Structure 1
Amino acid sequence: MSTDVDARSGRTAAWAYSEAFVPEDEVLLRARERAAELGCQASSPGTGALLQVVAASLGARAVVEVGTGTGVAALWLLRGMPADGVLTTIDAELEHQRAAKRAFAEAGIPPARTRTIPGRPADVLPRLTDGAYDLVLVGSDPHAYPEYVEAGLRLLRPGGVLAVDGALHGGRVPDPARRDEVTTVVRDVGRSLRADERVLSALAPSGDGLLLAVRR
């Protein structure tokens, strides 16, 4: 029994250590504070650092983000992208995008590097060009994850990466007894991508779970 407790304690400590492994600067911390004030979700530091590495490894010059929030994930992505990379970020909440633009300005990011589009992602995503993007991040409205994931796969070039934040949904997804609507939707998205022959997928435990799928 004590061995199991020790193992769980060790895993918790390892998770906390990995989350803090790449520290956030003042710009990110202020963006995170605004997210708390506005009541919107923000990617964890560990998730952000992983997204930065993915963007850098891809040399991602064209990125789409579904769910701008206050710009926390966007800042991480932009720091991993080449200097000429452009992030297209979509959010239905204008107040969120105003906060994100403030964070971009504080970080010294040139306005030409970001394209903030207000509106429902379901309305905006169909207007984007198929096969034109290196990375698509889905990070808002879990109810709509199936629609956003399918749109993201359509937008990716071969070798591009789809990332789904919150793929563990507060730790509920691994528990088969959890069958509420949102948990079921998020769980099914993971299973669908795992079985999808168009992609290779993996689930990283960073933050609240980051599901990654590379387009074949």
Structure 2
Amino acid sequence: MKDSDIRDIPKIYDSLLVRSKEIGFNMTSDKYIGTLLKTLISSKPSGRFLELGTGIGLSLMWMIDGLGADSYIISVDNDPKLVEIAEQNFGADKRVEIVCADGSDWIKGYKGSKFDLIFADSWPGKYSEIDETMNLLNGGGFYVIDDMNRQPNWPNGHASKASRLISSLEERNDITLTKLNWSTGVIIATKIK
């Protein structure tokens, strides 16, 4: 088995990578987390999903590829320029809502239905507002984070924050989790009902 042999890459992938380079956006998700998200989302054909940290839309692209006809995804980012790019590429899909907002404020103010999967790829939902984020997850739902192995773009001191996050997740009794030393370092947790 060769995990790098990923054959179902979304058509827009290459153009989004080019656009990332054009605007100097270097916090892109890799193909591995993309295909994992697509697989997990495909397991819930009428599910509701949340992405915290749209970025330029590389992970959102994979998530949309896995959406069922009756599924719905909300993606939140605080950068208007990135949200505009995501809207241009994905805004016509009625299953997709892209929100430009501060992630912390959005998490604290959200009053809608819970989610079957949350991909927390931003500070809010990953390093802050963790309890509030977990409360937005259905029982049996997935909480997914990546970039848990040291990354070249990490600022000084971030490694200790990542270690503390991992420890705090390990101590929770409302989830079961798996740590994968794969891709950029992935944690998948399932909320216990």
TM-score range, shorter chain: 0.7 to 0.9
Q: Structure 1: state its 5+ residue gaps.
A: 1-13, 174-179
Q: Structure 2: state its 5+ residue gaps.
A: none
Larger deviation: 65-74 or 38-47?
A: 38-47
Q: Are 2:160 and 1:184 equivalent residues in the alignment?
A: yes
Query: TM-score, with normalisation over the residues of structure 1?
Result: 0.78
1:43 to 1:206, Cα distance in 2 relative to 1, 3 A: farther
Q: Are 2:97 and 1:115 equivalent residues in the alignment?
A: yes
* Cα displacement (A) at 1:67: 0.5
* Cα displacement (A) at 1:96: 0.4
Mapped partners of 1:206, 1:60: distance in 2? 28
Q: Contact between 1:40 and 1:69, CA under 8 Å: does it hold in 2? A: no
For these two proteins, the number of residue pairs brought into alignment is 191
* DSSP 3-state at the match of 2:122: coil
Q: Are 2:191 and 1:195 equivalent residues in the alignment?
A: no
Partner of 1:18: 3
1:129 to 1:22, Cα distance in 2 relative to 1, 3 A: farther
Partner of 2:33: 47
Q: Contact between 1:19 and 1:206, CA under 8 Å: does it hold in 2? A: no
Mapped partners of 1:55, 1:46: distance in 2? 14
Cα RMSD after superposing both structures: 2.6
Q: Are 2:80 and 1:98 equivalent residues in the alignment?
A: no
Mapped partners of 1:23, 1:206: distance in 2? 19
Per-residue Cα deviation, 1:99-125 (whole angstroms, up to 9, x for no partner): 1122226xxxx4321111111101111
Q: 2:44 aligns with which of 58, 63, 72?
A: 58
Query: TM-score, with normalisation over the residues of structure 2?
Result: 0.87
* Cα displacement (A) at 1:203: 1.6
Partner of 1:159: 140
- In our comparison, the structure showing a higher alpha carbon Rg is 1
* Percent identity for Structure 1 against Structure 2: 18
Larger deviation: 22-31 or 150-159?
A: 22-31
Q: Contact between 1:138 and 1:149, CA under 8 Å: does it hold in 2? A: no
**Amino acid paired to 2:17:** R
Partner of 2:19: 34
Larger deviation: 64-73 or 28-37?
A: 28-37
1:161 to 1:82, Cα distance in 2 relative to 1, 3 A: same
* Cα displacement (A) at 1:131: 6.4
Per-residue Cα deviation, 1:9-66 (whole angstroms, up to 9, x for no partner): xxxxx8xx42342352440121122223332412100110011111112336211111
